[in-house]
């Protein structure tokens, strides 16, 4: 069953129906015209995205100072790599 016919909204609603238990898996697949395999893949991707969003939120800097510290460390790391590359090329 081609998945390209489903809009993003319909994919979202199909996954929400599965997660909320709004009917049997067979009923939901028939309602949206998708296979069980495809619906499981949509569900797994959605749960993975939720998991990743929660992880990122826990690890992100909260204050302005923390954000600046992260940016400074990234900049220093980038500069160190550039210096090493420059030294390597000049030898």
Print pLDDT tens along the chain (91 aa).
Answer: 444 588 999 999 999 999 999 999 999 999 999 999 999 999 999 999 888 877 766 667 678 888 888 889 898 988 888 888 888 777 6
**The predicted structure's pLDDT at residue 3:** 44
Distance of CA 30 to the CA centre of its chain: 27
The candidate with the shortest Cα–Cα distance to 47, out of 81, 18, 82, 5, is 18
What separation in angstroms does the CA of 37 have from each of 7, 16, 26, 32, 44?
A: 18, 16, 11, 13, 11
């Amino acid at each position: 069953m081609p998945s390209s016919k489903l809009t993003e909204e319909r994919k979202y609603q199909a996954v929400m129906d599965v997660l909320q238990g709004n009917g049997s898996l067979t009923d939901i697949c028939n309602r949206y015209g998708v296979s069980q395999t495809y619906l499981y893949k949509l569900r797994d991707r959605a749960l993975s995205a939720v998991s990743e969003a929660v992880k990122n939120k826990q690890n992100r800097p909260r204050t302005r100072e923390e954000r600046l510290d992260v940016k400074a460390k990234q900049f220093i790391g980038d500069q160190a790599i550039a210096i090493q590359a420059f030294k390597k090329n000049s030898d």
